[in-house]
Structure 1
Amino acid sequence: MKALSLCFMLLLSFSSYATTEVTATVSQNPVAVGQAFTLEIVANDTLSSNEFDPSVLLRQKFVVGSTSTARQHTSINGQSSTQTRWTTTLLVREEGNYLIPSFNIGGENTQPIHLKAKKIEAIEPSKDQVRMEVSLDSAEVYLGQPVTFTAKIWVANSLDQANIFAPNMLDAKVEKLGDDKQDLEIVDGKRYRTLTRQWLITPEKAGEYEVRGPRLSGLANDINHRARPIDIAAQTLALTVKAPPANFPGQWLPSHDLLLNEEIQPLQSDYQQGQAFTRIINLTIAGITEQQLPEIDIDYGPNFRVYPEPYQDRTIVKDGIVFAQRSLNVALIPVTTGELSLPGWSLPWWDLSSDKLAKAEIKARQIKVVPAPENQALNLNNPMPPTNATVASSDTGSSWLTWLFGFAWLITLAALIWFIRQSKLRPQGPNLAPQQEIQQNSDYWQQFAAACKQGASHQAEQALTNWVNQQQATGQWRSLLKKITAANWANAPQQLDLNEFYQACLAYKRETEQTTQREQLSLSSLNP
């Protein structure tokens, strides 16, 4: 009897698994050639998203878009139900008869679907439902001058699975500009959701061009909540690209405004020979991209040791205008004394506001360099410190030192054995370093400075390594560390002036400590 009951329960269990139902439906039939429609498969069970493989539709000559999976669990009056839903966007390019085959989902097969595709004129949705307007911020630009293309979309009800394809233009680079802006607007008493997207188009050749507008596709729901595929193509706009003036000097650089300035850190009335300082050159140009930023190349001559850092470039979008910024930090160490000149630098550019040649300039600056203190001058000329050890000239003195060191070694060995025995007897606890040792280990920068002053390159390398690891420093610090490591351990040892190396590190340390104090370069003076 128990066996019969068990068999009955197993039959009930199997019957419950057999109740899984799977259905497949399409959003429309027949379908229009070139217009998207959706295939929806629903199973009344919780299944893995991998149960449905839409790739088999490719063999049936369908264009297969994205597939989304959704799961739902409901409970009504104590009756629970679960559901797994797959939704795939499909499209056909030619008219004719098509077959959506049967899919095996969770052990159950869907019914195949026969489709008919017809060529019909694309039906634009009414402007009361979905519309798109496009514009260029200028119809005439110079070669290399970016132009902003703006598309604004109005949606009355809802738009699902929306795709916006970027505009395109021959001989130009097109890239998305900033983030989309979404808003709500009321037009003629009707409420719309709006989306504004912008692209930056940079022409690479002169001539007359057409900018083909973006395309919008998706599923638009009407007032009765019926989803219909839409495909909207924006209008084509004309753009004239002018060639640069033939007499323009240097690299072609068109802009509405440009700002060039410099900073000296620290700014002092005079500097010592061998004392490093930093010159920072900031360049901000309106209406160009980072790729168009010019090189900042200045020859400082034999009076300075020059340690430039990599450019710091970035792009800012403010009030719909693109600004490209470049900052160059150069550590300078004067090697001669007297009145020295920091060279100036000028940059020609084309002012689009006045349509004429302009020039930005940093003027030359005179600085006074005084001789270094006498002890530092000695270090410059003789970086290796004199040894304090004195070699005895007599055999008697040498023998006495040998016995002394031997006796000290025996005492040290005995103390070590005693310490090991005592540590085994004591209970184990946390390893706490003395306060003095902690303070010494945390003062790695002073150790590095002292080692450089004494000409001890290996000690300087170890101290700098400890300091860099302690600060978790990256970037230029790692490059400086590699420099002293290469000098110490290369197959052919390199000569490294530790005093100059320390001054370069000190200048960079001061500069990084003051970065938080330097405010972001103000753009208000650019009058965008």
Structure 2
Amino acid sequence: MIERKQRRWRAGVCAAQKHSARLARWATLALLAALALPASAATRAWLDRDSIGAGESVTLNIETDQGVVAPEYAPLRAQFALSDEVNNRQMQMVNGQVTAKSLFGVALTPRGTGTIDIPSLRVGNERTAPLRLQVAAAAAAPAGSTGAGDPAQLGNADVLVQTVADDAHPYVQQSVGVVVRLYLGVPLTSGELDLDPPAGAALQRIGDDVQSRREIDGRMFTIVERRYLLVPERSGPLTLPGARFRGRGPSGFFDDYFGRGGDLTARSATQTLQVRAQPANAPQPWLPLHDLRLRYTATPQRAAVGEAADIVVEASARGATQAQFPELPTPSVDGAQVFAEPPQFDEKFVDGSPQLKITRRYSIVPQTAGPLRVSGLRVPWWDVAVGAAREATLPDLNLQVLPGRAAPAAPAPPASAPAPSVDAAPSGSAVTPTHAVSGLLGALPLWMALAALFALLWLATLVWGWRRGRASRAPAGAYAASSTSSTSSTASTAPRARYGLPDLRKALDGGGLDEVAAILCAQAGVADLDALLTRLDDPAQREAVLRLQRARWGDAGDVPGARAALRAAFWAGPHWRDTPRKQSKDDLPPLYPRDA
């Protein structure tokens, strides 16, 4: 009888526990669903591109969730000619709720050039953020073009293809921008535009196609621009094939009857570029550009011993890409350590030419107080417009370094304060004070407070089960931990390298000197190159590290020679000095004599 009651009591307890766990799960799901409320989308506006040429058009897009409420375009008519207004309404379901969005679009043709500010527009009860558009002035028209750069032979043609290179006399390894323009005077149902790569040069497509509309000789044309990057590989004449277009436009009854079918074909003229060889007096590394400018975007206001002072340098190059531009050098500073972050690149096409912006941050840590001189960067380059060597420079920075501030000592704990117990409760099951829980639950609605309470009870049940399972496995785990404690303590004393030999070889091949130094210091487990010299056992490797220091800090450092010495000395890996180890005392006597 007693056993039957005990079985019934156990079954009731198990059923209650399962019911509580089920309620906790449903309460948690309800709480998460209530917290994951859909966020209303704000009214926003954007342009399909932020820079255009004179006479081109740009599309302004406006998205709102206020229903069919058209934007007020009146503030735009003073600076733009508006055309092709469209709108679209979309409906979608988010978290069980149906939301509707309206998308408006309008083509804007600027009436002037320069930087044009697009004002904030009213859309219902909200306003869009102001935008900025850069309109470039009309460039010199190429041969066979009108004053606006459009082909003079358009006439009554329905389709025409034009190919324009930004330099007709480039140098070897110079980045040449090539723009292919497709002029369409009729609607297009399908089409294909191709440009074959020339012999003796590399041709790469850059970005996506850009579409605009323009009125030419009283006719409205749709213009599609496709950008390419051309890099000549040898000097002499370079034949650039014409771009080909084949498509299909609208066709009438008689076109289908006579088999014409509305086919459209066009081809641009073939061009010949005269590629010039690299001059003998050109600076190295070879960097042919149209323009290069350096500037400081951030300089330190103060400097102190042991504190990092940040310097940010920006380089703007016209006629270069990321793969072509060399690494910005690290400034030479006596009496301070310099740490260079990886550079940030921004590539884009402007006026038919590639443009590159490089931003790099340098952290300077002074070691002594007093005046500190930071040498400005110098980047040699070749001006392709005038055919002369130039050098982009930055002025030196003079800083006054203040003495370092001593770290304040930690206050001693009061003698009467009891020491916290380590094994009072595990960190994963810390107990929340009762008044904090009650205050939190009081600020929530009743159903949400109950859901949170059930969730806490469910978590407490999981923690209780985890602690019971952990306690049952404690003896075996303790024995395993005691058997490996001596091995782990011995292995922790040796420096662990974050990099391997493949990483070192990769840095020796194409990385900077700062990257090579960082990898060697990480493999040795030291903080600087001076400590690295004490760990190296090979004299050739120590000499290579000394050359690395002279190349980084010296005014006339030989960077190529230092890189070659590092590659020759460390290609097989660093050779470390043996560190003496204490012979551990065996718990058992040896099976055989040690001197046998």
TM-score (norm 1): 0.46
Looking at secondary structure, tell me which structure has more strand per residue: 1
Larger radius of gyration: 1
